[in-house]
Amino acid sequence: MTLEETATRIKRMEIRGAGRIARAAAKALLDYSESINDLDQKSYIDRMLRASDLLAGVRPTAVSLPNAVNIISKPLLKAETLQDAKEGLEDRARAFITHSEHAVTRIGEIGARHIRDGDVVMTHCNSEAALQCIVTAHHQGMDIEVYATEVRPRNQGHITIKTLSDAGIRTNFIVDSAARYFMKEVDICITGADAITVNGAVINKIGTSQIALAAKEARVNFLVAAETYKFAPRTILGERILIEERPADEVLPDAILTTLPHVTVRNPTFDITPSEYVDLIITEQGAIPPEMAYTIIKEHLQWDMDNLCTDYPYCEEE
């Protein structure tokens, strides 16, 4: 698959989910770099930086994407030779993919410790990190039952119930608006994240915040399963996470919408759950309260203030 094809497939959501799109971008950069053999250092770096920019912006909300691209393309800015730049980038791309896969496994192990035998778990959207917690608990012999939402308009819930059913987990499939109705039967909620801000707010599939609200009302623990590269470094500088708004025809066919001249379809893809609704964030580094988001950004994301200052006008060098 070419770099442009990967970008298009991510945009069309044929590749989706914050972890998967980050790994797809890493693989695309790796393949692209490996295909370049006839350029001098400057041309190679220019081309790879353009490729990085293309991939980093293809879906605006999932911070995993720019984080992955930034981690992988760092050698382009510091390397002294073409070989340093190329080998550095390719090594980092391979390492990112391996780290990301291991992180999901580790999150599953840690997350499973927060699930008890007999628990009823609610999940929303299709998060491989959240599902890994549930499936790991099931593999450890726990008797788990799941409530999984439909996830309008793109029906990611269909992917979730297939995974759960294939694993042999008893699953109830519900429409999104039934989440509060069933909350009284739920022991724990686990979702994934597309981004986590420095103040511990969680950005995830639209509807997540309603479920968190219902969970708080019912005194049900709300857990978020997220690799450390879903934390958003630039929120330290006050940058906001852009909430992607997708086309109207995902919600209502054009043929109907054109008959309704006074109707506008709004289709935000993600929402923000404030940290006070989140009990714990399960990362590959351990389970943390949302208040510790800053520590993850500083200590585990390999993103120092130098990076943050790039193209930020108030951080001029002395």
Catalytic residues: 125, 194
- Residue from 28, 30, 45, 129 in contact with ligand RUB (CB under 6 A): 129
- Residue from 75, 88, 111, 192 in contact with ligand RUB (CB under 6 A): 192
- Point out which span in 126-134, 231-239, 248-256, 308-316 binds ligand RUB (CB under 6 A): 126-134
- Shortest distance, position 74 Cβ to ligand RUB, whole Å: 22
CB neighbour burial string for 214-231, b if at least 16 within 10 angstroms, e if fewer: bbbeeebbbbbbbbbbbb
- Point out which span in 48-56, 92-100, 121-129, 277-285 binds ligand RUB (CB under 6 A): 121-129
For residues 156 and 228, which CB has a smaller minimum distance to ligand RUB in the complex? 156
By CB under 6 A, is residue 156 in contact with ligand RUB? yes
- Shortest distance, position 313 Cβ to ligand RUB, whole Å: 31
Task: Indicate the pairing of strand 286-288 with strand 202-205.
Answer: unpaired
**The token pair that represents 200 in the structure block:** 């511990």
- DSSP annotation of 233 reads G
Footprint on residues 256-285 left by ligand RUB (CB under 6 A): 269
Sheet holding 195-196, edge to edge: 195-196, 202-205, 270-273
By CB under 6 A, is residue 153 in contact with ligand RUB? no
In angstroms, the CA 288 to CA 292 distance is 6
144, 76, 80, 72: which is closest to 108 by C-alpha?
A: 144
**What DSSP assignment string belongs to 237-269?**
GTPPPPPPB--GGGTS-HHHHTT-TT-----B-
**The token pair that represents 103 in the structure block:** 């992180």
In angstroms, the CA 92 to CA 85 distance is 11
For residues 85 and 241, which CB has a smaller minimum distance to ligand RUB in the complex? 241
- Shortest distance, position 13 Cβ to ligand RUB, whole Å: 6
Contact 143, 168 (CB under 8 A): no
Select the residue whose beta carbon is closest to ligand RUB and give its number: 192
- Residue from 204, 228, 273, 283 in contact with ligand RUB (CB under 6 A): 204
For residues 75 and 207, which CB has a smaller minimum distance to ligand RUB in the complex? 207
DSSP tally for the chain: helices H, then strands E: 12, 10
What mask, x for binding ligand RUB by CB under 6 A, covers residues 52 to 81? Answer: ----------x-------------------
Q: Name the amino acid, one letter, at 19.
A: G
Number of residues that bind ligand RUB (CB under 6 A): 18
Footprint on residues 17-56 left by ligand RUB (CB under 6 A): 17-20
| Binding interface with ligand RUB (CB under 6 A) | 16-20, 62, 125, 127-129, 156, 191-194, 204-205, 269
